[in-house]
Amino acid sequence: MDKTYAVFGYVRVSTDNQLENYSIEEQIHRITAYCKAKGWVLIKIYTDGGFSGGNMHRPALQQMLDDMIKVNVDAVIVYKLDRLSRSQKDTLMLIEDQFLSHNVDFISINENFDTSTPFGRAMIGILSVFAQLEKDQITERFTMGRIGRGKAGYFHGGGNAPHGYDYVNGELMVNDYEAMQIEEIYNLFIQGKSINAITKSMNGKYKNRNWTAAAISNALKNTLYIGKVHFKGVAYDGKHTPIISLDQFNEVQRLLNSQQRQNGKNTAQKSPFRGGYLLSSLIYCGRCGARYSANHGYYKCYSRSKSYSKFIMDPNCRNENWNIQELDSIVIETISELLENKEMIQQLILKPAYNKNHPIVAEKINSRIDTINKQLTKLIELYQVGSLPIEILTDKAAALDQEKKILLEQLPSKEGNTHTLTPFIGTISTFETGFKTLDLDAQRLLIATLIQRIEINGDNVKLLWRL
């Protein structure tokens, strides 16, 4: 290579860099000195600190590949082949599909070869095989070690100890205060409390963590609390002290999987119906804005599930899926709580619309909205007594709801009154007296009369009321 090369340097250390015996600084020093000796122009050095060579998900590597296309660079240089990758497949892909396809050579100082020569290209394939072998051996040793710890009864979660335990010197030690909370969760569930009710109770009583419905559900299924540890789907007897007795745990599993609960007859444990999707038309993703669909037992963001490309808002969205029955129960129980505490309604009321330029017009529109809310409530009552077919009810309710949306859009929120409070309470009362007796279509309509939108953001559920 007689010409002066313009090159990019790449350096990497993983979490095992103490064992590799060369640091980021040392790699940079070697690359810089090599380029100086060759008379090459070192344009930039890309650094990935703390990233494994077992995959391509490294920010500096990806940035280098992007810049390589934009900049007229002749070669990429590393100190050692496995700094580029420990994967045979990834190594060959990078060299052949990325570097050589863009007329960029690859040079490794330690192995003393480069891809500008046939011998260098052959050596790349040979050495990448040994890099892959080394990676596989490390993985095998690591896996064997974790299996050994599991068989010996040790928890392998490191410092991420589950609630109820502390991780001390490689072992789980019972945290008495947190263990008391786990025991209370199990006792409340056995007594017939729903997961949502338990979540509310725990957050009201204990302030050392924020409990979610998902966390409560996971705690009720975690065999760690009866003294088991798991690795790769295999359960081993743990060395730690159990918090929950085997009898308690088995009773909870019986309730979770009981036919009565699966059929939805026990409303304290699950939603009060078995088939259909109560909330699917109301749920939106709080991260990307897409709707949620219901399939395979879960409400899922369209962007994440990609079940219908038309509704994808962000293909990279990773918002949480929610168990259908669990989310249904949360919404139903939240509405039920309003019946027991009417003061909560006052706190939920949105500031009503007020038109400062045309207050008389605003008053008439608010009056019409009040009438629509009363008519929606009346439609539910007529259906409940059997005097109105569901087809007519659905059509009329849809027309009224559309009219209400148009009216609300005409009025910016400025000052407050309670023009929607009375009909809202009336609809809540209808919910209390007749919800369980309605079929799914009527239940969905009643829910939609009360709730305008449900937003999901991870474990958080936000209800936007029609007030």
**For 83-111, how does the pLDDT look when each residue is reduced to its tens digit (9 = 90+)?**
888 777 677 788 878 888 899 999 989 87
117/196 same-domain check: no
344/461 same-domain check: yes
Q: Each residue of 148-172: pLDDT tens digit?
A: 565 655 666 655 778 888 887 777 8
Residue 200 lies in a domain: yes
How many CB atoms sit inside 10 A of residue 444's CB? Answer: 19
Burial of 19 (0-12, 13-18, 19+ CB in 10 A): exposed
169/138 same-domain check: no
Per the annotation, the verdict on 14 as an active-site residue is yes
Q: Using the Cα atoms of residue 372, residue 373, residue 374 and residue 376 in order, give the sign of their dihedral.
A: positive
Dmax over Cα atoms in the chain, in whole Å? 94
CB-based contacts of 113: which residues, under 8 Å, 6+ apart? Answer: 107, 119, 120, 123, 124
Any idea how long the chain is? 467
164 near 181, Cβ under 8 Å?
A: yes
Residue 400 lies in a domain: yes
Range of the domain at 131: 6-143
Structure confidence at residue 47 (pLDDT): 94
Domain-terminating residue out of 80, 109, 143:
143
Q: How many Å apart are CA 352 and CA 342, to the nearest integer?
A: 19
Alpha helical stretches, state H, 191-257: 195-205, 213-221, 246-256
Q: Which one of 14, 128, 271, 305 is the catalytic residue?
A: 14
Q: Higher model confidence: residue 299 or residue 152?
A: 299
- Please give the average per-residue pLDDT across 373-395, as a whole number: 67
Q: Each residue of 39-51: pLDDT tens digit?
A: 999 999 999 988 8
End-to-end CA distance of the chain: 76
DSSP three-state, residue 146: helix
293/440 same-domain check: yes
The model's pTM is 0.33
What is the 3-class SS of 271-317, one letter each residue? CCCCCCCCCCCCEEECCCCCEEEEECCEEEEHHHHCCCHHHCCCCCC
Number of structural domains (the chain) is: 3
